[in-house]
Amino acid sequence: MSGKQSVTEQDTSTGRAIEHDSFAIIDREAGPHAYDPAQWSIVRRMIHASADFELNGLTAFHPEAVPAGLAALRQGGRPLVADVGMILAGLSCARLARFGLTPYQFIADADVIAQAQAQGTTRAVQAMRKALGLGLLDGAIIGVGNAPTALLEVLRLIATEGVRPALVIGMPVGFVSAAESKGLLVEVSPVPWITVQGRKGGSTLVVAAIHALLALAAETGEPLS
């Protein structure tokens, strides 16, 4: 079943036609899937961003992931905390502004680097701890596409500090702890999540998932703030 996706970032009729044709090809070639229409619109955009049809099946959703993400967007004014700047560079500033999302990433901050060196951890861990200290994680949309240690730290904060993000989009790519961190994420029930099982992932997929959620929110209602 294909998912409706009329809202687009394309500014020209030619661009919109190419995107429409791309989605039609994906719907035709992807084969059967068990996703509901809203979930499929996210998976389809991730396939569009990567040309990787294995995402049909590898992408997993907490049962409340899409409703929780849309509710957070409609309420507006939420932080969007990313593990790396690459995610923020790929996002539409206009679409973020429409829903009052304020983007943050701290991995290159001098204090984060100093703390990582002093404590023998990673910059990604310290970046999430800085976000916690600034009060940015509760109610936030968190996107992790590069650093498994960032996702592991978010999971620790959920378990031990009672942190409650609105949604965790956890898709770190790689060979060391990437699959393992996502395996732990899918065991979390109190916080909704979207993930890609196994080694695949990356910032591009996180960006695609966020844009798909923003498009769904734009189709189904204005922000409440």
Confidence of residue 88 (pLDDT cuts 50, 70, 90): very high
* Paired strand residues for 103: 80
Q: Do the Cβ atoms of 115 and 53 come closer than 8 Å? A: no
Instruction: Say if CB 152 and CB 177 are below 8 A apart.
Output: yes
- pLDDT above 50 for 223: no
Tell whether 174 is covered by a domain.
yes
Q: Mean pLDDT across the chain, nearest whole number?
A: 92
Q: Which domain holds residue 159?
A: 52-220
Q: In angstroms, rounded to a whole number, what is the distance separating the alpha carbons of residues 68 and 78?
A: 12
pLDDT for 20: 84
Is 93 domain-assigned? yes
Residue 160 lies in a domain: yes
Is residue 4 situated within a structural domain?
no
Q: Is residue 26 in some structural domain? A: no
Q: Among 33, 48, 62, 211, which one carries the catalytic annotation?
A: 48
Quote the CA–CA distance of 160 and 167 in Å, as a whole number.
18
> For 7-19, what is the mean pLDDT?
62
pLDDT above 50 (res 1)? no
What average pLDDT does this structure show over 148-164? 98
Give the chain's radius of gyration (CA, Å): 17
Q: Are strands 79-82 and 59-61 parallel, antiparallel or unpaired?
A: unpaired
In a domain, 131, yes or no: yes
pLDDT, tens digit (0-9, with 9 covering 90-100), for 189-202 = 999 999 999 999 99
At 13, the pLDDT band (50, 70, 90 cuts) reads low
Residues 6 or more apart from 61 whose CB is under 8 A from it?
A: 35, 39, 193, 194
- pLDDT band at 219, cuts 50/70/90? confident
Structural tokens at position 13? 């009729």
Q: What is the average per-residue pLDDT within 70-79?
A: 95
Region 41-69: what's the mean pLDDT? 97
- Measured from the Cβ of residue 154, the count of other Cβ atoms closer than 10 Å reads 30
Active site residue 48: yes
> Is residue 25 included in any domain, yes or no?
no
What pLDDT sits at residue 19? 80
What share of the chain has pLDDT > 90, as a percent? Answer: 86
Sheet containing 141-144: order of strands: 59-61, 193-196, 167-170, 141-144, 79-82, 102-104
Which of these, 198, 79, 105, 97, lies nearest to 148 by C-alpha position?
198
Predicted pLDDT of residue 11? 53
CATH number for the domain including 64?
3.40.50.10230
